[in-house]
């Protein structure tokens, strides 16, 4: 196990009615908030009005900016930065899923910054400060509710990049599973794949003696696998929604990273797909992750065999761990398909004409992945397996 520092300072309030705490939580940090949201689901559900009422009652002024699209765009972030400066906002409140939260974090980063915001995402600048961010989560998926990461798409050049800094970790996250009852099936399943992927990225590590985090990862993955079908057949099943919501946070709050190094190549490859084709992140991962597994399995068949046995109940073949490993990958694909997820680019109507471009962009800053470092030709080969 490696040495590590673990600090996740987000205050999580979980359960029925959790969002009612927003007035008090915001008032402790700010006098004026930017209420940031997406394409309108929060207005249709009535959540928006309840949030405004809670903030107003607590004496907090509200400025609103909606319109965040899935795969959030830099142009709206820049609009938000200008608005917050003009209105002297001192807290960004994200009400929505990962895209809204990431957009809120980018605004929080940009308000006090001198230079262009994209410089942070390109690694050309380091922030000294950021406005605080609060979250009311409506879609368990990205784990952005407690992560220090913002992922933004720059329309100029179609780059999708993540920026990581502890300043971006939300100060509070209000998690009410009932707010996810209204999620369409496609968002529920895409979200679950993203959480599963966050755990798998960490699970496939070269680090030895990581028994505790292996077991935590396995428990989290099994919980997601058990509860996604329940939530799909019974969208108002509180228990299933609650398990998925907490799994989203646990998967990506950095606890499962402790003492080990994750891989993250599948995420980087998926970001190229999202950037060019605007596919939902979780859907892209359902296609990319099995292809990545198939490409790297021979690097450490025993680790894949452990995954197959402990997460997917594959009977181990002690004479041939590679066989157990491959059966595990087959079960991942079968599970995704049984939940109605695509596992090929063909199903997304994406051809091979931009494989070269995606492969080149994915490795622009050097090889990707830590379990098996990948260069341009490896990424191309994985994309071939996604067909």
How far apart CA 185 and CA 14 sit, in angstroms, is 23
Instruction: Give the nearer residue to Zn ion in terms of CB position, either 194 or 254.
Output: 194
Closest-approach residue to Zn ion (CB): 194
How far, in Å, CA of 369 to CA of 283, rounded?
Answer: 20
Total residues binding Zn ion (CB under 5 A): 1
- From residue 313, give the alpha-carbon distance in Å to each of 123, 227, 340: 42, 16, 21
Contact 94, 38 (CB under 8 A): no
- N-term to C-term CA, the chain: 37
Q: How far is CA 219 from CA 73, 267, 320, in A?
A: 35, 22, 25
Among 62-70, 188-196, 225-233, 239-247, the segment contacting Zn ion (CB under 5 A): 188-196
The C-alpha atoms of residue 243 and residue 175 are separated, in whole angstroms, by 12
Instruction: Report in angstroms how near the CB of residue 272 gets to ligand NZQ at its nearest.
Output: 11
Q: How far apart (Å, rounded) are the C-alpha atoms in residues 59 and 82?
A: 24
CB 189 to ligand NZQ: min, Å = 11
The C-alpha atoms of residue 35 and residue 375 are separated, in whole angstroms, by 41
Of the pair 99, 306, the CB lying nearest ligand NZQ is at 99
Q: Which is nearer to ligand NZQ, 107 or 151 (CB)?
A: 151
Instruction: Using the minimum distance from each CB to ligand NZQ, give the nearer residue, 169 or 310.
Output: 169
| Minimal distance, residue 69 CB to ligand NZQ, in Å | 7
Q: Is 194 in the site for Zn ion (CB under 5 A)?
A: yes
Task: Identify which range of 13-21, 27-35, 189-197, 234-242 contacts Zn ion by CB under 5 A.
Answer: 189-197
When the beta carbons of 241 and 252 are compared against Zn ion, the nearer one is 252
What is the DSSP annotation of 83-140?
HHHHHT--EEEEEESHHHHHHHHHHHHHTT-SS-THHHHTTS---S----EEEEESS-
User: CB 26 → ligand NZQ: shortest distance, Å?
Assistant: 20
* Candidate ranges 149-157, 191-199, 203-211, 291-299; the one touching Zn ion (CB under 5 A): 191-199
Contact region with Zn ion (CB under 5 A), list: 16-24, 176-184, 193-201, 365-373? 193-201
Cβ 21 to ligand NZQ, closest distance in Å? 18
Smallest gap from Cβ 197 to ligand NZQ, in A, equals 7
Stretch that binds Zn ion, among 11-19, 190-198, 358-366, 373-381 (CB under 5 A): 190-198
C-beta closer to ligand NZQ: residue 76 or 91 = 76
Q: Is 272 among the residues that bind Zn ion (CB under 5 A)? A: no
Contacts of 116 (CB under 8 A, 6+ apart): none
The whole-angstrom distance between residue 213's C-alpha and the CA centroid of its chain comes to 19
| Dihedral, 195, 197, 198, 200 alpha carbons, nearest 10 | 130
Binding site for ligand NZQ (CB under 6 A): 38-42, 70-71, 96-100, 102, 138-139, 141-144, 147, 149-151, 179-180, 182-183, 187, 191, 194, 252, 267, 281-282
Interface residue list for Zn ion (CB under 5 A): 194
């Amino acid at each position: 196990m490696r040495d590590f520092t673990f600090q996740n300072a987000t205050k999580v309030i979980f359960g029925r009615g959790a969002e009612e705490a927003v007035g008090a939580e915001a008032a402790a940090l700010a006098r004026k908030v930017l209420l940031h949201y997406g394409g309108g689901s929060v207005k249709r559900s009535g959540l928006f009005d309840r949030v405004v009422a809670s903030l107003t009652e607590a004496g907090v002024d509200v400025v609103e900016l909606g319109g965040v699209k899935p795969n959030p765009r830099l142009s709206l972030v820049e609009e938000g930065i200008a608005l917050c400066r003009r209105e002297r906002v001192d807290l960004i409140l994200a009400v929505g899923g990962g895209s809204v939260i990431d957009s809120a974090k980018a605004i929080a980063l940009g308000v006090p910054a001198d230079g262009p915001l994209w410089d942070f995402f390109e690694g050309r600048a380091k922030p000294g400060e950021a406005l605080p961010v609060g979250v009311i989560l409506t879609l368990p998926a990205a784990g952005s509710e407690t992560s220090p990461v913002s992922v933004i798409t720059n329309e100029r050049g179609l780059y999708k990049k993540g920026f990581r800094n502890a300043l971006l970790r939300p100060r509070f996250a209000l998690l009410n599973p009932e707010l996810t009852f209204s999620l369409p099936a496609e968002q529920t399943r895409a979200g679950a794949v993203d959480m599963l992927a966050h755990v798998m990225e960490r699970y496939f590590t070269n680090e030895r003696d990581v028994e505790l985090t292996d077991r935590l990862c396995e428990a989290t993955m099994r919980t997601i696998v058990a509860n996604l079908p329940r939530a799909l057949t019974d969208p108002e099943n509180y228990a299933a929604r609650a398990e998925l919501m907490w799994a989203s946070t646990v998967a990506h709050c950095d606890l499962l990273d402790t003492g080990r190094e994750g891989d993250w190549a599948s995420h980087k490859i998926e970001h190229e797909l999202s950037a060019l084709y605007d596919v939902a992140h979780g859907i892209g991962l359902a296609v990319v992750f099995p292809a990545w597994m198939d490409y790297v399995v021979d690097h450490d068949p025993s680790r894949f065999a452990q995954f197959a046995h402990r997460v997917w109940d594959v009977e181990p073949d002690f004479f041939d761990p590679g066989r157990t490993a491959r059966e595990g990958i087959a079960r991942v694909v079968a599970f995704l398909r049984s939940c109605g997820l695509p596992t090929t680019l063909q199903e997304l109507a994406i051809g091979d004409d931009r494989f070269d471009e995606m492969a080149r962009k994915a490795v622009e800053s050097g090889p990707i992945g830590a379990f098996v470092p990948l260069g341009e030709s490896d990424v191309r080969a994985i994309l071939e397996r996604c067909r």
